[in-house]
């Protein structure tokens, strides 16, 4: 599970998804396109339909699935979404994927510790956040549950809580930079 606004979806999302598929030996990666991230302003957010369509165009891989399942489940917070998915798919082992930037501030998320308690978590290296992420409140709280990188393909089987920090070739794409470039391009015409 890779959740986010995907405003817009970009090649960096695809890059980390494919890296996670390989490193963690996953069957699929689901992109959970959030109807509205409660920590982000709605102003400047493309519609859910636009973000879903763009994500589907970017994903371009048979094992990457794009979904707006949160809107169907009626969930807004990641911990609730993951709990609902575990209930709906009791035989499926989910792994929560997130960039290092999210590990830095995950303690601001509602019931964030339940994410770690309910699903293995894979944190993907993302410049310039990686050092700060590894010193974050969540990394400290769950330090004893960190799985060594050499055991990445077994993360899904690890007893919970379990998390891993995956170093990978970084991709330069950033939704924030893409939006800023679009805004600058449109204002200079």
pTM listed for this prediction:
0.87
> pLDDT for 64-110, tens place per residue?
999 999 999 999 999 999 999 999 999 999 999 999 999 999 999 99
Q: How far is CA 3 from the centre of its chain?
A: 4
Kindly report the length of the chain.
Answer: 189
Q: Domain tally for the chain?
A: 1
Task: Name the band, by pLDDT with cuts 50, 70 and 90, for residue 178.
Answer: low
pLDDT at 30 over 80: yes
Task: Name the band, by pLDDT with cuts 50, 70 and 90, for residue 189.
Answer: very low
**CATH number of 180's domain:** 3.40.50.620
Residue 37 has a pLDDT of 79
Which uninterrupted H or E stretch holds 166? Answer: strand 163-166
Write down the residue that tokens 């929560």 correspond to: 96
Percent of the chain at pLDDT exceeding 90: 79
Q: Around 83, how many Cα atoms within 13 Å sit in the side-chain half-sphere?
A: 14
- Omega within 30 of 0 (cis) for the link into 94: no
Q: Which letter, b or e, does each residue of 9-37 get, where b requires 16 or more Cβ atoms within 10 Å of its Cβ?
A: bbebbbbbbbbbbebbebeebbbbbbbeb
**Measured distance CA(81)–CA(158) in Å, rounded:** 21
Q: Of 82, 110, 112, nearest to 96 (Cα)?
A: 82
Percent of the chain at pLDDT exceeding 70: 90
What average pLDDT is seen over the chain?
91
> pLDDT for 54-69, tens place per residue?
999 999 999 999 999 9
Residue 183 has a pLDDT of 64
For the chain, helix (H) and strand (E) counts, in that order, are: 9, 6
Q: Which residues pair with 165 in a beta bridge?
A: 123
Residue 182 has a pLDDT of 65
The domain in which residue 36 lies consists of 2-187
Residue 179 has a pLDDT of 53
């Amino acid at each position: 599970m890779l959740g986010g606004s995907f405003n817009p979806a970009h090649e960096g999302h695809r890059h980390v998804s494919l890296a996670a598929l390989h490193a963690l030996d996953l069957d699929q990666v689901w992109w959970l396109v959030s109807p509205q991230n409660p920590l982000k302003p709605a102003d400047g957010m493309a519609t859910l339909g636009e973000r879903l369509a763009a994500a589907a165009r970017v994903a371009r891989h048979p094992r990457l699935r794009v979904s707006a399942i949160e809107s169907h489940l009626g969930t807004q917070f990641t911990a609730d979404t993951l709990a609902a998915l575990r209930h709906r798919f009791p035989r499926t082992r989910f792994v929560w994927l997130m960039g290092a930037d999210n590990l830095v501030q995950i303690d601001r998320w509602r019931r964030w510790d339940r994410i770690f308690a309910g699903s293995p978590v894979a944190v993907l290296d993302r410049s310039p956040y990686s050092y700060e992420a590894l010193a974050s409140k969540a990394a400290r709280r769950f330090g004893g549950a960190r799985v060594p990188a050499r055991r990445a393909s077994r993360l899904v089987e690890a007893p919970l809580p379990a998390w891993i920090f995956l170093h990978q070739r970084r991709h330069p794409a950033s939704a924030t930079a893409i939006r800023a470039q679009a805004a600058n391009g449109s204002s200079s015409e």
